Amino acid sequence: MSAKTFDMIVIGAGPGGYVAAIRGAQLGLSVAVVEREHMGGICLNWGCIPTKALLRSSEVFHLMHRAKEFGLKAEGIGYDLDAVVKRSRGVAKQLNSGIGHLLKKNKVTAIMGEATLAGKGKVTVKTASGTEELTGKNIVLATGAGARELPGLEADGDLVWTYKHALTPKHMPKKLLVIGSGAIGIEFASFYNTLGADTTVVEVMDRILPVEDAEISAFAKKSFVKQGMKIMEKTMVKQLDRGKGKVTAHIEANGKVEKVAFDTVISAVGIVGNVENLGLEAVGVKVDRTHVVTDEYCRTGVDGIFAIGDIAGAPWLAHKASHEGVMVAELIAGGHPHAVKPESIAGCTYCHPQIASVGLTEAKAKEAGFDIKVGRFPFIGNGKAIALGEPEGMVKTIFDAKTGELLGAHMVGAEVTEMIQGYVVGRRLGANEEDLMNTVFPHPTLSEMMHESVLDAYDRVIHI
């Protein structure tokens, strides 16, 4: 069988891989993308998109309960869990089929099958109908990541769930334990808690959402507790005893172990890169724990092999994967793209209230030796927030006192995931405090708080 030859072979069609393939084809490269399961990867099928569809249902449910506040009547409010899940799966399916169309439109050869590196420039693909050999000068590894499983806390799909089970529940948990308070754990905790599950979140670090600014974590915690969630920090789940319809969790805090019964556990303790069975050793690609080692241009050190997205390490975010995909395609096509800077990539958590941030936290800025100026603005001081009935939240900005550089921005509250991009653009353009203060923000918008926070850092705040 003769091998098909391409300029660029992409393994994995998640937001890293399919975007790299499309950009490569736009630049005139002949491109093949190999996908073993589903176009769009985790992001479209089991991650970003279906979680946001579920969270939208819980958000509407929450708002329906507040109908009276808005002068409206809503009676007999309830939900149909199967219909909530069906909508979420439908949204994922709609977008998934769109990827096939985009690849076709861009003349990318899409192959459904499992790919393995078979030597320099060689890829073997196991498809439903046999084996295909591909050759290419450039290979882009975009195989993503899966859920991390801790010994004893492994998912079984019945009592203990990973994100895949949590996205397709057959029943509503009555008493739910979420292990891990990163974005994934907190989003599921928020969804299930809003729909009525008695929810406990256990976090081993000293605060929930540990990568966020400490003030934002504290704000979010207060809000979640007000909504009825139990939050246990500096706490560890040591063991899960599985019984009939019940799991007893051994929860350790301050050296003491407490046994608590739950009917459902969601394990959200991180992810591991899909590096297994890819043939990485055969071609000399280096792996550190479960991630491929790369430089800032996603080069693996082996000529013609790149790694992008989740398999290449943190931050594990779809937009980072896509941006790296574009960068690598441009590099392969002979361009001179900018390296992707992790510190300029925003992180968003779509819980209620939402959380969004970019750049350094206050603690990290101090640790790095910056003399800083900090601005804060509360949602309660913003007209649009009051009109929306969303007075809970804050915007925090951190500047280098010497240069006025925006070092970090951190927000909690309604729609902050839509607003953070304003600061990201500012950082990308090298905006300083003057540029941000001289920018006119439309009124009434929540974004005015972004302006006020900057003004506050320089003692010029107007509305508080």
Q: Which residues are catalytic?
A: 443
How many Cβ atoms are within 10 Å of 230's Cβ, its own excluded?
A: 15
Can you tell me which of 16, 24, 169, 408 binds ligand FAD, judged by CB under 6 A?
Answer: 16
Which among 42-50, 222-230, 371-379, 427-435 is the span making contact with ligand FAD, rule CB under 6 A?
42-50
Q: Which of 8, 21, 41, 294 binds ligand FAD (CB under 6 A)?
A: 41
Q: Is 32 in the site for ligand FAD (CB under 6 A)?
A: no
d(CA 456, CA 445): 18
Q: Is 352 in the site for ligand FAD (CB under 6 A)?
A: no
- Measured from the CB atom, the residue of 48 and 220 that comes closer to ligand FAD is 48
Q: Provide the total of helices (H) and of strands (E) in the chain, helices listed first.
A: 14, 24
R_g (Cα) of the chain, nearest Å: 23
Of 47, 182, 353, 381, the one binding ligand FAD (CB under 6 A) is 47
- Alpha-carbon 232 to chain mean position: 23
Contact 113, 132 (CB under 8 A): yes
Q: Is 351 in the site for ligand FAD (CB under 6 A)?
A: no
Tokens read off for 195 = 């729909």
**Residues 23, 31, 51, 399: which binds ligand FAD (CB under 6 A)?**
51
329 belongs to the binding site for ligand FAD (CB under 6 A): no
Grouping H, G, I as helix, E, B as strand and the rest as coil, residue 142 is coil
- Provide φ and ψ at 153, rounded to 5°: -110, 20
Decide: helix, strand or coil at residue 96: helix
74 vs 69, 87, 365, CA distance in Å? Answer: 11, 22, 47
Q: Smallest gap, in angstroms, from Cβ of residue 438 to ligand FAD?
A: 31
Q: Are 190 and 351 within 8 A, CB to CB? A: yes
Binding segment for ligand FAD (CB under 6 A), chosen from 9-17, 195-203, 296-304, 444-452, is 9-17
Q: Determine if 33 is a binding residue for ligand FAD (CB under 6 A).
A: no
CB count within 10 Å of CB 283 equals 19
Site string for ligand FAD, 106-125 (x = CB under 6 A): --------xx----------
Residue in 6, 163, 192, 377 binding ligand FAD, rule: CB under 6 A:
163
Q: How far is the CB of 13 from ligand FAD (least distance, A)?
A: 6
Q: Is 309 in the site for ligand FAD (CB under 6 A)?
A: yes
Site for ligand FAD contains 237 (CB under 6 A): no
Task: List Cβ<8 Å contacts ≥24 apart for 381-386.
Answer: 381/449, 381/452, 381/463, 381/464, 382/444, 382/446, 382/448, 382/449, 382/452, 382/463, 383/443, 383/444, 383/448, 384/444, 384/445, 384/446, 384/448, 385/413, 385/414, 385/446, 385/449
Longest CA–CA span in the chain (Å) reads 73
Residue 165 C-beta: closest distance to ligand FAD, Å? 11
Please tell me whether residue 450 binds ligand FAD under the rule CB under 6 A: no
* Shortest Å distance, C-beta 110 to ligand FAD: 11
Residue 318 lies near ligand FAD (rule: CB under 6 A): yes
* Distance separating alpha carbons of residues 430 and 128, to the nearest angstrom: 50
DSSP 8-state secondary structure symbol assigned to residue 28: T
Separation of alpha carbons 405 and 395, rounded Å:
17
Q: Please say which residue, 249 or 321, places its beta carbon nearer to ligand FAD.
A: 321
Looking at 41-49, 201-209, 214-222, 225-233, which segment touches ligand FAD (CB under 6 A)?
Answer: 41-49
- Amino acid identity, position 380: I
Distance CA 331, CA 253 (A): 49
What is the per-residue binding string for ligand FAD in 407-446, x denoting contact by CB under 6 A? ----------------------------------------
Nearest approach, Cβ of residue 321 and ligand FAD (Å) = 4
Q: 329 φ, ψ to 5°?
A: -60, -40
Taking a C-beta distance cutoff of 8 angstroms, is the pair 99, 44 a contact? yes
Number of residues that bind ligand FAD (CB under 6 A): 36
Question: Which range in 45-53, 68-76, 194-202, 288-296 contacts ligand FAD by CB under 6 A?
Answer: 45-53
Would you say 162 or 382 has its CB closer to ligand FAD? 162
Residue 300 near ligand FAD by CB under 6 A: no
233 burial via Cβ count (<10 Å: 0-12, 13-18, 19+):
middle
Q: Check residue 278 for interaction with ligand FAD (CB under 6 A).
A: yes
- Interface of this chain with ligand FAD, residues 131 to 160, rule: CB under 6 A: 142-145
Give the interface with ligand FAD as residue ranges (CB under 6 A): 11-17, 34-38, 41-43, 46-48, 51, 114-115, 142-145, 163, 184, 274, 278, 309-310, 316-319, 321
